[in-house]
Amino acid sequence: MTIDIGIVGGTGYTGVELLRLLAQHPSVRVRAITSRKDAGTKVADMFPSLRRRYDGLAFVEPDAARLADCALVFFATPHGVAMAQARELVAAGTRIVDLAADFRLKDPALFERWYKMPHACPDLLAQSVYGLPEVNREAIRGARIVGNPGCYPTAVQLGFLPLLEAGVVDTRHLIADCKSGVSGAGRKAEVNLLFAEASDNFAAYGVRGHRHHPEIAQGLALAAGGPVGLVFTPHLTPAIRGIYATLYAPLVCPDTDLQALYEKRYAGEPFVDVMPPGSAPDTRSVRASNMLRIAVHRPAGTDLAMILVVEDNLVKGAAGQAIQNMNLMFGWPETAGLDALPVLP
């Protein structure tokens, strides 16, 4: 069975990554892709990398897309767009995977505080499922709306998760020191993203507060069974793709076999690779793939767990995870369309 898919906001990096990955999927057809600014432009003209896969597909105005005729719609849009259209689509029987933040935070007041807009459909927010498959796999299968996790939250939550579930760390003192390539900021013109600004440079940002902090804290609190204390500091690196998260947590059970704990928790997970003891993953080892790699360490002379996590921010951190969620929602193999190996060099 082949289903029709719609993509709202297909001109950004996550939009083109959705198209690249969906071109390899055996059970979907992209029926419509929208853009107000670029309506009428052929997808293959904007993205030559997609020639001969999408030669007949052009961007259309949202009102002309007939999204309600699609089985599922991906929203690769700024915050606020998906929730404005969700009610109509759900009523028509269309399922939604939102790659922005509209359906990530369960508290509407918290969403309004961080995103500076009221939530348009808090009743649908309460019904939505947070799309981290390694945590919510069964709930995602039956979901009408999935809030796809952010890139940093995916890496940080999966990195800390086994420690919190096992209750072996002091949850009041969690530290997430994270780095991202510049594609994480989106396909837009900003001074700090210019080549002459970002190249040969390294800087922290969002130090006073980043929008991913409440999302991460929400997930970690659920895993820990109560509030957590989290310091989260993101950095911009002179790279295009990749998330590198170095995580620290004080152990309250120093005798814990951390390697065994992680290997057991992620046994059978198709997109989480727990590396051998002593490993140090790099972002190049996951580039263009949906794989997330984890290495577990305990620094000598300390009672700290140190967890190293890498992922591609545009794939497992965005479009790939969205397709992983779609696969669960339609009962397909979770790896469908996502089994491509990382690109090297």
Q: How far apart are CA 98 and CA 148, in angstroms?
A: 6
Supply the DSSP string of 129-165, one letter for each residue.
EE--HHHHHHHHHT-SEEEPPPHHHHHHHHHHHHHHH
**Three-state SS string across 245-299, please?**
EEEEEEECCCCCCHHHHHHHHCCCCCCEEECCCCCCCCHHHHCCCCCEEEEEECC
Catalytic-residue membership of 178: no
Kindly give, in sequence order, each residue whose CB lies less than 8 Å from that of residue 98, ignoring residues fewer than 6 positions away: 74, 75, 82, 83, 86, 145, 146, 147, 148
Q: Name the phi and psi angles at 39, rounded to 5.
A: -55, 135
Q: Are 135 and 215 in contact (CB under 8 A)?
A: no
- Give me the torsion for CA of 282, 286, 292, 295, rounded to 10°: -20
CA atoms 330, 336, 342, 343: torsion sign: negative
Q: What tokens does 155 get?
A: 């890496």
Q: Are 266 and 291 in contact (CB under 8 A)?
A: no
Q: What tokens does 5 get?
A: 């898919």
Helix (H, G, I), strand (E, B) or coil at 180: strand
Q: Are 57 and 30 in contact (CB under 8 A)?
A: yes
Q: What residue spans of the chain are helical by DSSP H?
A: 13-22, 43-46, 81-91, 108-115, 122-127, 133-141, 151-166, 195-198, 212-224, 258-265, 320-329
Check 70, 121, 151, 178 and give the catalytic one: 151
Q: How far apart are CA 84 and CA 233, in angstroms?
A: 31
Residues carrying an active site annotation: 151
